[in-house]
Amino acid sequence: MLTETKTKARGLADLPPIQSDSLLELIALCNADPRPDKIDVGVGVFRDATGNTPILKVMKEAERRLLDTQVTKAYLGSAGDKRFAELLRPILLGPHAEDDRIVGLQTPGGCGALRLGFELIAAVNPEARVFVGTPTWPNHPPIIRAVRLGIEEYPYYERGQATIRFEDMIAALEGGEPGDVALLHGCCHNPTGADLSEDQWREVVRVVSERGLLPLIDIAYQGFGRGLEEDAFGVRLMLDACDEVIIAQSCDKNFSCYRDRVGSLFVKTGSHEDTAKAMGHVFHRAREMWSMPPDHGAACAHIILEDPELRARWLVELDAMRDRINSVRQRIAAADPRLAFIGKQFGMFSMLPLSKEQVLKLRSDHAIYMADSGRFNVVGMGDDQLDRFTAAVVGALDA
Ligand SMILES: Cc1ncc(COP(=O)(O)O)c(C=O)c1O
């Protein structure tokens, strides 16, 4: 007997419209602007002095080698390229690289790692609240909501003062219950560029471990801030203090291979056996979502990291990207005392103390595209556009 249908069957046409990602929308707006001198500081990719996002020379070399030597494209499994994840261990984990309570796997970029990390948390503790800084990278909340975890905000940054609201941050984290999650940026905070000092990391690690919070550290820009080693300070300090830590990592920026989607997730528990159990869940979720990560970018990073000569060449190119970020920061900072804070921040992003109206005016009058929040990519423009950019921003601050 047919059961009675209570609700009318729905077609795809019944879907409500969805609010599109504001940053992707900004890219589309900028692309559609016909003005030849437009400046795109909205997008989150490194650009060199000529305004290009380069393929690293060492990456080209690795791609050539891969082409010459790869003999199969058979499936690798949900963990992806296992050697790739092993080679990342000393870079990310430092003295913890040999700890068999920490296990990692390759993921489709940092986004894949974040999603998988939150999936794992939701599997063990669906009631956990995730403490998320304000502001944070706009894709964090949707990923957390996708796994149906609750979000609690902690104050992170005071835009007008260009300072971290550290006491407020600590007070908010103190309110966490055991099992709640502290989402932290490992380095090069996106969108503010304001990184915790070593002393501040010590304090955060103390609260996280005393309150029994589960830290999830998102580290998407290692090597873009103070240096490859220095940028992992917070990750390693957390590993010193806590039995349970989740790290979502991306190679898309520091290998400049954004669209190849290269990242990893590392999970630490109190014992090798418990980590193996947790990884069982991780593999299961990965299998459901993407089955296995794309190979190409990670295979090239693997080739680079395995070969001492290529690794050395990667480090030189990475240093050059960091040097450019920091020298552009100094140039913008020198343009006006109100921009001096930019010289003290790290990574590709900072936030200008501009209202949304001022941001929109920069867009209409000067073809300068940045997020409505005032977040801009310090290396979003070539050198020839820098003076025009700073003059327009100073003009907007004066207005
Ligand atoms: C803070 C942060 N986390 C994670 C990611 C994700 O990086 P991926 O492109 O590797 O997914 C980004 C990228 O913009 C980011 O800014």
Q: Which of 137, 251, 290 to mutate to test the pocket of ligand 1 (most atoms within 8 A of CB)?
A: 137
| pLDDT for the residue numbered 24 | 82
| pLDDT for the residue numbered 36 | 92
User: In which region does residue 10 sit, left (phi positive, over 0), alpha (psi from -120 to 50) or beta (all else)?
Assistant: beta
135 touches ligand 1 (CB under 6 Å): no
Whether 81 sits among the annotated catalytic residues: the reply is no
Whether 162 sits among the annotated catalytic residues: the reply is no
Q: pLDDT for 245-279, tens place per residue?
A: 999 999 999 999 999 999 999 999 999 999 999 99
78 touches ligand 1 (CB under 6 Å): no
Whether 220 sits among the annotated catalytic residues: the reply is yes
pLDDT of residue 1 exceeding 60, the answer is: no
pTM of the complete model: 0.96
Three-state helix/strand/coil letters over 312-327: HHHHHHHHHHHHHHHH
Q: How many CB atoms lie within 10 A of CB 253?
A: 24
Q: pLDDT for 275-287, tens place per residue?
A: 999 999 999 999 9
Catalytic residue, chosen from 201, 248, 253, 286, is: 253
Do 354 and 362 touch, CB atoms closer than 8 A? yes
Mean pLDDT of the chain: 96
Do 304 and 310 touch, CB atoms closer than 8 A? yes
Q: Which of 26, 140, 252, 325 to mutate to test the pocket of ligand 1 (most atoms within 8 A of CB)?
A: 252
Three-state helix/strand/coil letters over 117-162: HHHHHHHHCCCCEEEEEECCCCCHHHHHHHCCCEEEEEECEECCCC
Q: pLDDT for 90-121, tens place per residue?
A: 999 999 999 999 999 999 999 999 999 999 99
